[in-house]
Amino acid sequence: MQNYLIAKATDTGRARELNEDSMTVFKSRNGHVLAVCDGMGGQAAGDTASKLAVTIIEDILTDNTFSTPEDAIRRSVMAANQGVLNRAAQNPELMGMGSTCVMLIVRDGKVFCGWVGDSRIYYIANHTIRQVSHDQSYVQELVDSGQITPEEALHHPQKNEITNGIGVEGMTPPELLTIPILPEPGSVFLLCSDGLTGMVSDAQIERVVSNNEMSLQQRADRLVELANEAGGLDNITVELIQFEKESQTAGPLSPAKPGKASAQAQNGMRKYFPVMGIGVLVIALAIGGYSLFSNSDSTPELAKPRQKPKVEELTIGPSNQERDVQEDKTETPSKPQQPNSPQQPNSPQQPSVNTNSRQITKPATNTPSTPTPQDVRNGAERDNQDQQSNQQIHEAKQELTEEEIEAAKKGNDLDVDNRLNPLNNKK
């Protein structure tokens, strides 16, 4: 897609009757091509040479695809040279005709340049002008060797003699720009014949080309006018190509429309930014809320503290009455007492052992345990209680008659039985 504008202008000038300059602008397989040719060799011959050179260049670049723009420039100019030489050989009246040539190809956003002769290419950017091409002329050789200054070259009597050109026997290949130029936004390339540069200074050219208040075509026309105002001693030809300021990827220069569209697009995006921000915030809050409620519902048991066992409900050891009942049962032969089994390992709560209570239901072991002082005290208390119980039984027997005792043995008199067994009253 183009991102530049092109303007061109040409004029015979005030001293010549025929315009021997030729120019072309066209699109090809090798890029967008601009070229200016300045004919020489007499009125009829010069005009023929420049037109023939332009025609051959157009044909070569339109019908063929070259590997690089530099190769395209070199091959097309060499073909134009051969065509002009062949035409002159066929017509003796055209012998000695020739032409200069400057060519520019825009491809992939870059500018490639090549030239033969003394026509020029300028690059104007940021109110600065720079000559891209290098004159192939006798006067330029004098300047390069230091024999004359650039100012002296402007008025040198041999300034129109060129050392290389199309149609010249032994023409050398065109000189090429070493590194292609990546144009700055708003920059302009100028291709022109020496009818402009011989009449208008570089500073004047820069002021006109940098004047953005005029259209590109008006600037091209103004350059021709300045050359004619300075005398117009030669044909004047100008081509301008300006690269767009707003964007390197936009179409041809039309500042109002692309700029307006770009501004509208940016404004539209600004309108949607708040909405997009609110949408993102709502989504984030929804995700966060869902995660919070989901976690609270899915893990309620984890939040519950583990219930501690109630100490008052545990029985660490038997009470004194229960101990006495169990011991009495073990002493009765008719009712053997089974030893209590040890506490099961998978019991839900394992209370700690209270060393102040003697354990009755210990599992049997082969090795007797050593009694503690507390065990001794507890045993003494138990013996004392046994003696008291036996004494009460003895006294109760003395108060009963033999008939009451026999009835108690047969289990017929509960009152007598209770009196004989005072331990029942302790339950």
Q: Rounded distance, CA 133 to CA 125, Å?
A: 16
Q: Are 97 and 50 in contact (CB under 8 A)?
A: no
The DSSP element (H or E) to which 379 belongs, if any, is: helix 373-399
Q: Are 112 and 76 in contact (CB under 8 A)?
A: no
Mean pLDDT, residues 337-345 taken together: 43
For residue 396, the one-letter residue type is A
Q: Rounded distance, CA 131 to CA 72, Å?
A: 22
pLDDT reported for residue 169: 84
The DSSP element (H or E) to which 322 belongs, if any, is: helix 320-331
pLDDT reported for residue 41: 82
pLDDT one-digit tens code per residue, 227-264: 999 999 999 999 999 998 754 333 333 333 344 334 44
Q: Are 162 and 118 in contact (CB under 8 A)?
A: yes
**209 or 402, which is more confident?**
209
The DSSP element (H or E) to which 192 belongs, if any, is: strand 188-192
Buried b / exposed e along 258-295 (16+ C-beta atoms within 10 A): beeeeeeeeeeeeeeeeeeeeeeeeeeeeeeeeeeeee
Lowest mean pLDDT among 32-46, 105-119, 235-249, 405-419: 405-419
Mean pLDDT, residues 5-32 taken together: 97
Query: Of the ranges 45-59, 149-163, 378-392, which is most confident?
Result: 45-59
- Would you list the DSSP string of 3-58? -EEEEEEEE--SS-SS--EEEEEEEETTEEEEEEEEEESSHHHHHHHHHHHHHHHH
pLDDT reported for residue 384: 64
- 62: exposed, middle or buried (Cβ count in 10 Å: 0-12, 13-18, 19+): middle
- On the question of pLDDT at 378 being above 80, the answer is no
Q: Rounded distance, CA 222 to CA 208, Å?
A: 7
- 360: exposed, middle or buried (Cβ count in 10 Å: 0-12, 13-18, 19+): middle
**388 or 231, which is more confident?**
231
What are the chain's domains? 4-252 (3.60.40.10), 375-427 (no CATH)
Kindly state the percentage of the chain with pLDDT values over 70.
57
- On the question of pLDDT at 74 being above 70, the answer is yes
Q: What is the mean pLDDT of the chain?
A: 76
The number of C-alpha atoms within 13 Å of 339 and in the hemisphere containing its C-beta is 10
**322 or 260, which is more confident?**
322
pTM value > 0.85: no
pLDDT one-digit tens code per residue, 168-210: 889 999 999 999 999 999 999 999 999 999 999 999 999 999 9
pLDDT one-digit tens code per residue, 98-137: 999 999 999 999 999 999 999 999 999 999 999 999 999 9
For residue 141, the one-letter residue type is E
- On the question of pLDDT at 424 being above 90, the answer is no
Integer distance in angstroms from the first to the last C-alpha of the chain?
112
Residue 418: pLDDT band (50, 70, 90) is: low
Q: Angle at which helices 202-209 and 216-229 pack, to 10 degrees?
A: 150
- On the question of pLDDT at 396 being above 90, the answer is no
Give the sheet arrangement for strand 4-11, strand by strand: 4-11, 236-243, 188-192, 120-125, 128-131
Phi/psi at 123 (5° precision): -125, 120
pLDDT reported for residue 168: 87
pLDDT reported for residue 258: 40
* C-alpha triplet 362, 364, 367: angle, nearest 5°: 115
For residue 214, the one-letter residue type is M
- On the question of pLDDT at 152 being above 70, the answer is yes
Q: Rounded distance, CA 243 to CA 148, Å?
A: 36
Residue 401's CB is within 10 A of a number of other CB atoms, namely 9
pLDDT reported for residue 281: 65
